[in-house]
Amino acid sequence: GDANPPEPPYSIVGAKLDGISPGFQMKDRQGRLYFIKPDPYEAPEIATAADVVGTRFFHALGYNTPENYIVLIDRQEITVAKEGTTNGENGKPRPMTNRDVEKVIWKLPRTKDGKYRFVASRAVDGDAIGPFRYQGTRSDDPNDLVPHEHRRELRGLHVFCAWLNHTDAKS
């Protein structure tokens, strides 16, 4: 998580506006895609710090992890891309607006210089092939021969997640 920190200006291309952790998909100046989310409103700096520290902990143990960065973003550095979308009330994609961004950030705490704090996870290159499963094997991967419940690195992952109180380690 040190090689590719996002660089302003930022262009929001997608959003998850509901739920406990609203967030955005944004591209930076170089066109790199990041998933960003703020801290919960009532606990500034806690979740973003835990995310970055936890990622580095798991990387040090040998696990593949995303590149996570803490970013401080000035509102003037954010625009909504023409292709930006979010889900409407009917669950169908709709064009995103600046109002959608404001709905998320209006009550976020700010730094002394007026910036917003987010954790930015750089998107992994390639196409997603679906969520990981903790049981069985992947039928579409001929190299996946050992049932996941018998893999040592996954049994160890449970221990490390418990030690860090990482309760969100799901497929």
Query: What would the pLDDT profile of 85-103 be if each residue is shown by its tens digit?
Result: 998 888 899 999 999 999 8
For 20-50, write each residue's pLDDT tens digit. Answer: 678 899 999 999 999 999 988 788 888 899 9
Annotate 58-96 with b (16+ C-beta within 10 A) or e (fewer). Answer: beeeeeebbbbbbbebeeebbebbeebbbeeeeeeeeeb
pLDDT-derived band at 143, boundaries 50, 70, 90: very high
Q: Is the pTM of this model over 0.75?
A: yes
What is residue 8's predicted lDDT score, i.e. its pLDDT?
97
Flag whether pLDDT at 128 surpasses 90. Answer: no
168: pLDDT strictly greater than 90: no
Distance between CA 90 and CA 6 in Å, rounded? 33
Structure tokens at 108: 């976020």
